């Protein structure tokens, strides 16, 4: 079974940079996708983007395009979600999810990373 381990909670100030991570264990190949999902307090789930870990094909939601960078390092089975200038409105819980290449469902999820942006 694949396990996704996300980096810990972060507290940042507006304008600061941040990179959070999601490492997949229990699967030795790199033919899978990692999706990043945002959830704000009391709100639903929103896809931010997805990336193929093996060949680093990243696709973004129009709502975050240009605001974040999604990347992956296949040598360590880790995906990243990065901001270069955080805003208070980026405060949310972020989940990563795992899908095997060729499937269209998200079989495993990370535990979530809470990002708080406040002055």
What residue ranges bind another protein (CB under 8 A)? 35, 37, 44-50, 59-62, 65, 95, 97, 103-107, 109-112
- For another protein, the closer CB: 63 or 118: 63
Give the nearest distance from C-beta 96 to another protein in angstroms: 9
DSSP per position, 28-96: ----EEEEEEEE-TT--EEEEEEEETTT--EEE-TTTBTTEEEEEEGGGTEEEEEESS--GGG-EEEEE
Give the nearest distance from C-beta 119 to another protein in angstroms: 26
- For another protein, the closer CB: 1 or 119: 1
Nearest residue to 20 (alpha-carbon basis) of 59, 44, 48: 48
- For another protein, the closer CB: 16 or 40: 40
Alpha-carbon distance of 73 to 81, in angstroms, equals 12
Give the nearest distance from C-beta 43 to another protein in angstroms: 8
Give the nearest distance from C-beta 38 to another protein in angstroms: 10
How far is Cα of residue 64 from the mean position of the Cα atoms in its chain? Answer: 12
């Amino acid at each position: 079974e694949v396990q996704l381990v996300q980096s810990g909670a972060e507290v940042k100030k507006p304008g600061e940079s941040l990179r959070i991570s999601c490492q997949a264990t229990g699967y030795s190949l790199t033919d899978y996708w990692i999706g990043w999902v945002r959830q704000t307090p009391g709100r639903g789930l929103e896809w931010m983007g997805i990336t193929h870990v093996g060949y680093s094909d990243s696709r973004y939601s129009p709502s975050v395009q240009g605001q974040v960078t999604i990347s992956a390092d296949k040598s360590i089975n880790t995906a990243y979600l990065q901001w270069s200038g955080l805003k208070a409105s980026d405060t949310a819980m972020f989940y990563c999810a795992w899908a095997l290449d060729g499937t269209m469902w998200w079989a495993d999820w990370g535990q979530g990373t809470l990002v708080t942006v406040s002055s």
